[in-house]
């Protein structure tokens, strides 16, 4: 198996594992050992991490527009770091705490669920997309990196921004 095929296989294994963990954390019974801890602060932490991801990606985008590749790389890796911390925090919260139901006005409920649905659908897609794009950049496969980054950057920006919006819309209904 070539190095490239091994890398692609690793990306897809990671993507499936990450998305599987997220799905499992939401739908499986909560881990009783974790329920002893109060993780009610984690949704706010998640929103902050999403906001930091969004800001890091914006700076990375402006850097590449200015042809500052070093700054672009630094801020993409910073965004990836924030996203990784978010993933850990998100899993801790959802493995230990029941889901919160939206209880706002009906018209906003439809807006909330539209944003939530698009956020979730694109979050599933962004996991392999970000890994592939970052990998191409690290391997100096510039042409392919640019081609796929045209899709990755706006999707990742949308997912990180809507993560903050979803939090702001559901925050009043969290039980503390």
3-state secondary structure of 165: helix
- Record: fold of 3-20+38-173: 1.20.120
Q: Inform me whether the pLDDT recorded for 10 exceeds 90.
A: no
What confidence tens digit (pLDDT) does each residue in 64-103 have? 999 999 999 999 999 999 999 999 999 888 888 888 899 9
Query: How far does CA 40 lie from the centroid of its chain?
Result: 20
Q: Which pTM does this prediction carry?
A: 0.88
Distance in angstroms (rounded) separating the CA atoms of residues 23 and 64: 34
CA dihedral 26, 164, 145, 136 (to 10 degrees): -50
pLDDT 10s digits, 105-159:
999 999 999 999 999 999 999 999 999 999 889 888 899 999 999 999 999 999 9
CA separation for the pair 115, 164 (Å, rounded): 11
- DSSP secondary structure letter of residue 66: T
């Amino acid at each position: 198996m070539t190095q490239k095929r091994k890398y692609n296989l690793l990306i897809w294994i990671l993507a499936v594992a990450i998305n599987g963990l997220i799905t499992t954390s939401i739908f499986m019974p909560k881990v009783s050992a974790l329920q002893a801890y109060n993780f009610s602060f984690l949704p706010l932490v998640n929103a902050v991490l999403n906001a930091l991801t969004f800001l890091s990606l914006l700076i990375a985008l402006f850097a590449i527009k200015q042809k500052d590749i070093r700054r672009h790389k630094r801020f993409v890796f910073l965004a990836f770091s924030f996203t990784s911390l978010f993933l850990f925090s998100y899993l801790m919260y959802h493995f230990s705490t029941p889901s919160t139901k939206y209880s706002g006005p009906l018209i906003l409920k439809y807006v909330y669920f539209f944003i939530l649905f698009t956020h979730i659908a694109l979050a599933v897609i962004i996991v392999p997309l970000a890994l592939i794009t970052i990998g191409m950049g690290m391997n100096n496969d510039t042409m392919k990196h640019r081609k796929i980054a045209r899709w990755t950057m706006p999707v990742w920006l949308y997912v990180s921004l809507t993560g903050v919006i979803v939090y702001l819309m559901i925050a009043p209904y969290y039980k503390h």
